[in-house]
Amino acid sequence: MIKKCLFPAAGYGTRFLPATKAMPKEVMPIVNKPLIQYGVEEALDAGMDNIGIVTGRGKRALEDHFDVSYELEHQINGTPKEAYLADIRRLMEECTFSYTRQKEMKGLGHAILTGETLIGREPFGVILADDLCDGEDDGVMTQMARIYAKYRCSVVAIEEVPMEQIHKYGVIAGSEIEDGLYMISDMVEKPEPEEAPSNHAIIGRYILTPDIFDILRETPPGLNGEIQITDALLTQAKRNMVLAYRFKGRRFDCGSMEGFVEATNHYYQQLKEKG
Ligand code: UTP
């Protein structure tokens, strides 16, 4: 039912310097696949085949990844090596890709607002490709689309994190209306542990209704002078309803070295098991 998915990918990836000096964080590979490709596969599995990517300077490799590479195709045509391209070819056949640039890095909320031109007035998914999710049974976006189909409001994915990690996340407070599903009453961006309303941290998966763009336009810069999606979502929660969904599966914070290495081990193991 939701056809569009937005990938904010304009950030500098400073935690991975110098790797990200000339290469976007989103094309860094976990085993043999760039982070962004895992994200697009998750979106497509949820039926979202219209992919919008918010890029910035130095992100050309992202566009090239989802385009034909004639020389390479010619070189391996008819050889067994073609099998390596099967997954990416499927994405290129089944998805459309559109790009827009965020000219100044004014935060995730601003990046999402920049993507309005690709989305228009319909509900859409948002995937932060550096949060790599391996869903249990179904992909996380598929699980969230199911929640949206039932409640027709914005949905954020949450995970319970240890309190000493809570300062890295947007954190929600809310009442549980179904097992693992919360109606949000408050949200705080990157709180100190003593100010955190819970240990339910927002991770990089959202389904947003298009009124979020109007709210983002009115949202003043918050923490670090950035336009925070958390602030806009709190306004939306107060005006209407926003749900927080404790997804089933495992998430790797591939924006950090520890998460990146864990994800590499996890997916390498999976690949070996497949044989
Ligand atoms: P992060 O803060 O995790 O990513 O933003 P970053 O800025 O790339 O990395 P570090 O912290 O410097 O290492 C979360 C997501 O939001 C996007 C990023 O690309 C990332 O996917 N983002 C953030 C934007 O697209 N634009 C922004 O202005 C900020």
| CA proximity to 141, closest of 120, 157, 119, 118 | 157
Q: Does residue 185 sit in helix, strand or coil?
A: strand
Distance between CA atoms of 178 and 182, rounded to whole angstroms?
A: 7
Q: How many residues does the chain have?
A: 275
Ligand 1 center to 127 CA (angstroms): 12
Ligand 1 centroid, distance to 224 Cα (angstroms): 13
Task: Kindly give the number of the ligand 1 atom that is closest to the alpha carbon of 129.
Answer: 21
Kindly give the distance from the C-alpha atom of residue 254 to the centroid of ligand 1, in angstroms, as a whole number: 12
Q: Which residues line ligand 1 (CB under 6 A)?
A: 8-15, 25, 54, 102, 105-108, 110-111, 128, 130, 255
Measured by CA distance, the residue closest to atom 1 of ligand 1 is: 11
Is the confidence at residue 275, as pLDDT, over 80? no
Q: How far is CA 183 from the centre of its chain?
A: 21
Tens digit of each residue's pLDDT (9 = 90 or more) over 9-65: 999 999 999 999 999 999 999 999 999 999 999 999 999 999 999 999 888 999 999
Residue 34, preceding peptide bond in cis (omega within 30° of 0): no
pLDDT digits 0-9 by tens, 215-254: 999 999 988 899 999 999 999 999 999 999 999 999 999 9
Name which CATH class applies to 4-274: alpha beta
The conformational region for residue 90 under phi > 0 = left, psi -120 to 50 = alpha, else beta, is: alpha
CA 107 to ligand 1 center in whole angstroms: 7
pLDDT in tens, 190-226: 999 999 999 999 999 999 999 999 999 999 998 889 9
- Pocket-testing residue among 14, 130, 167, 227, ligand 1, by greatest number of atoms within 8 A of Cβ: 130
Q: Kindly report the pTM of this predicted structure.
A: 0.96
Which of 128, 216, 223 best tests ligand 1's pocket when mutated (most atoms within 8 Å of CB)? 128
> What number does the ligand 1 atom closest to the CA of 104 have?
28
pLDDT, the chain, mean = 95
For Cα atoms 168, 104, 106, give the angle at the middle one, nearest 5 degrees.
35
